[in-house]
Amino acid sequence: KGTFYPLTGMSKEVQQKLIDDHFLFKEGDRFLQAANACRFWPTGRGIFHNDAKTFLVWCNEEDHLRIISMQMGGDLGQVYRRLVTAVNEIEKRLPFSH
């Protein structure tokens, strides 16, 4: 369970909260702009995070999906298992195309 925040129409309060949590990505730098990777900014872009804020998906930042699993402490096994579980669930719904 979690929340998806589309960048389009995001309130200043939500934007500041995501910045404070270090979750919000910005419009691309001049290199991404030169490659047209920022066309139609911020349309079609957003951020999902789980309720515990240990799992994030950035949609259409530089990549189509950037999947992040993290947490405080040293339990890398739990971080990895969360990531693998999420990738498997995503692949069930969006078959990976090679």
The annotation status of 22 as a binding-site residue, yes or no, is yes
Q: Please, how many CA atoms are within 13 Å of residue 23, restricted to the half-sphere of its CB? A: 28
Q: What is the dihedral of CA 3, 37, 84, 18, to 10 degrees?
A: -30
d(CA 6, CA 48): 9
Report residue 77 as tokens: 């096994």
Question: Has 45 been labeled as part of a binding site?
Answer: no
Q: Binding site membership: which residues?
A: 22, 66
Can you say which residues are annotated as belonging to the binding site for ATP? 22, 66
